[in-house]
Structure 1
Amino acid sequence: MSTGQQAQIAPAAVASDLTTGDLRVALAKGWADFRAYPLFGLFFAGIYVVAGMFLYFGLFVRGEIAWLVPVAAGFPLLAPFVAVGLYEVSRRREAGLPMSWRAVLGALRGHGDEQILSMGVILFVAFAFWLMVAHGIFAIFLAESGIGSESLELFRTGAGLMMLLVGSIVGGLMALAFYAVTVVSLPILVDREVDFITAIIVSLATVRSNKAVLLAWAVMIAIALFVAMLPLFLGLLLVLPVLGHATWHLYRRSVSQSGA
């Protein structure tokens, strides 16, 4: 990490001087990682795309068309866990280590301490919780409307528009909270042998020390993922790997060993 202002958050020193230039550098490095090892990126993004299509067509078959909105809104909550393998690719390329499927897939196990799997469970619980919250918002605004979830017409009604507004605010706040929890915690769990609570503390400290820049990064991620999901999730085959690799490099810029 370049010299500059730091805050000591054991066991790491967290930068407090990130700039938008760091975001551009991270994206450039992320693109370089993807170009160097595209198969890994396509593999992990492909899992995400297939899962998205499964949910998409499953909702159509069941006639739950209106649920496409909350599912699409909450789906990015799972992206950080899918990106763990991408972090390992970037880590190994940066360190000059040999690249293999066994090593990269092994990153999902963490350092044999199940810390990354614990974070994965948290993310899946967050996704399920968002769906429950979305269901509650739907019930509050549209339970008496007579319009079922099999129709998108409900979003053209006054109650439907209000539901979208409230749902967007609540969903945005939830997404921002989990972004703050995961933006650094998962990369640090790939990089170092720490427990997930410590990793979360470092992640929150990093966001707190660089609010404007990391909020801009969150907005960039949200917009990129939203646009990439529009063509049947296929845009994620490019966007997700680049963002995943870029997040690793942003982590490396943000966090160093304590006392470094």
Structure 2
Amino acid sequence: MPRNTIHLPTVRSIGLMQPLTWLVLAWRDMARAGWISFAHGFALALFGAVILAVGYHRFWFLAGALSGFLVIAPVLATSLYALSRALERREPANLGVVLKTWANWQNSHVNKWGNDYWCMVQFGALLALAATGWVVTSAALITLLAPVPIETPVDFMRHVVMAREGWLFELWLALGSLMAAPIFASSVVAMPLLLDRRATLLQAVLTSWQAVVVNPLPMAFWAALILGFTLLGLGSLLLALILIMPMLGHASWHAYRDLVDPSSLPEREAASPPVPGPGAAP
């Protein structure tokens, strides 16, 4: 019997410093989209503040919850990808794009029971499950192995990060990295691809892995940039996340456009006629 093969779009090779270009393009998109882009950052920073307020005196939970929140960030940034796509197509990038992304994208599907319809929901659920698993693992690790109860960020810094004996912080980082690496490889272009093209979840994840395999050094540099900016956002009491989260979201769209040639897959939503520029003929 013939063996079923999974068709994957072509993945391009990029230069080591190309992620810096994505950040420059992201700032351009933020300026052009205006308040709606920054509203995403404000909403995500506010959500992080709620996590911080709830878990401040339960740092065994807070450490995992904040990092788990970042695991599902590729899903939360979906409408930022849509805004960048609209700008690329010279379409209005406004609140309507955001509402359509979250509420109406399914209207173009004829088969509501097909895998294509549920792929974005499936991917979000998988990331949420991974985030929940990390929250539980992180909480159990800190609770069981910390020399004293860890209740506040100060306790975590004093008895885990700066502890002179034991390897708890190193073990915590190693487990976090062990979880983060495959999640990054699975999601680096998966969500933009699912938004842009009629691809299955497996196609999107395998394409994302292929992008990492073909470009190991640029993808490692991109992961380091994401980590560095995220730590900067957390270290600023979440205030910098208002700028950082939309920047990384828009940049992820440009990463997808540079890394993947999706022309072999059908569009999920056809482009609208471009908005005429000033002085254009009627």
TM bracket (short chain): 0.7 to 0.9
Contact 2:33 2:94 in 1 (8 A): no
Given that 1:110 and 1:189 are in contact with CA atoms closer than 8 Å, whether structure 2 keeps it comes out as no
| Corresponding residue for residue 14 of structure 1 | 11
- The 2-side partners of 1:162 and 1:178 are apart by 25
Instruction: String of CA shifts for 1:168-224, please: whole Å, max 9, x gaps.
Output: 011012111111111110010111111212111111111111111101100110110
Q: Distance in 1 between matches of 2:60 and 2:8?
A: 45
- Secondary structure, counterpart of 1:232 in structure 2: coil
- Alpha-carbon deviation of 1:140? 4.4
8 Å CA contact retained: 1:45, 1:82: no
In the alignment, the residues of structure 1 paired with residue 163 and residue 259 of structure 2 have an alpha-carbon distance, to the nearest angstrom, of 45
| 1:246 pairs with one of 228, 242, 251 | 251
Query: Does 2:203 align with 1:203?
Result: no
After superposing the two structures, state which structure 1 stretch, 74-83 or 172-181, moved more: 74-83
**Cα gap change, 1:178 to 1:39, in 2 (>3 Å):** same
**TM-score normalised by L of structure 1:** 0.86
Q: Could you tell me how far apart the structure 1 residues matched to 2:123 and 2:104 are?
A: 11
Q: Deviations over 1:11-58 (max 9, x none)?
A: 41111x211332122111111000111222222222211111111011
Of 70, 73, 79 in structure 2, the residue corresponding to residue 79 of structure 1 is 73
1:131 counterpart residue number: 135
The 5 A counterparts of 1:216-227 are 216-227=221-232
CA contact (8 A) 1:41 1:241 kept: yes
1:74 shift after superposition: 3.1
Aligned partner of 1:130: which letter?
A: W
Q: 2:19 aligns with which of 20, 23, 26?
A: 23
- CA distance in 2 between partners of 1:99 and 1:222 (Å): 28
Residues 86 and 241, structure 1, Cα contact 8 Å, conserved in 2: yes
d(CA) in 2 for partners of 1:23 and 1:149?
37
Residue 241 of structure 1, CA deviation? 0.9
Distance in 2, matches of 1:195 and 1:108, equals 18
Residue by residue over 1:77-100, the C-alpha shift from the partner in whole angstroms, topping out at 9 and shown as x without a partner, is 121111111100000110112333
* 2:11 match: secondary structure: strand
Instruction: Map 1:62-211 to 2 at 5 A.
Output: 63-108=57-102, 111-112=105-106, 113-142=117-146, 145=147, 147-151=148-152, 152=155, 153-155=158-160, 156-158=162-164, 162-211=167-216
Q: 1:95 to 1:21 in 2, by over 3 A?
A: same
Q: Is the 8 A contact 2:63 2:138 kept in 1?
A: no
**Amino acid in structure 1 at the alignment position of 2:96:** R
SS at match of 1:118: helix
Pairwise mapping of residues 38-53 of structure 1 onto structure 2 (< 5 A)? 38-53=34-49
- Structure showing greater radius of gyration is 2
Q: Secondary structure at the match of 1:20?
A: coil
2:233–2:239 contact (8 Å) kept in structure 1: yes
Contact 1:87/1:187 (8 A) holds in 2: yes
- 1:185/1:203 contact within 8 Å kept: yes
Quote the RMSD (CA, aligned, Å): 2.1
Q: Which amino acid aligns with 2:7?
A: A
- In structure 1, stretches of 5+ residues that fail to align are 1-8
Q: How big is the shift at 1:110?
A: 7.7
Total equivalences in the alignment: 245
Please state whether the residue corresponding to 1:114 is helix, strand or coil.
helix
Matched AA of 2:87: R
Distance in 1, Cα, partners of 2:132 & 2:16 = 33
What is the rounded CA distance, in whole Å, between the counterparts of 2:191 and 2:20 in structure 1?
21
Q: Which amino acid aligns with 2:52?
A: Y
d(CA) in 1 for partners of 2:65, 2:125: 18
Amino acid paired to 1:210: N
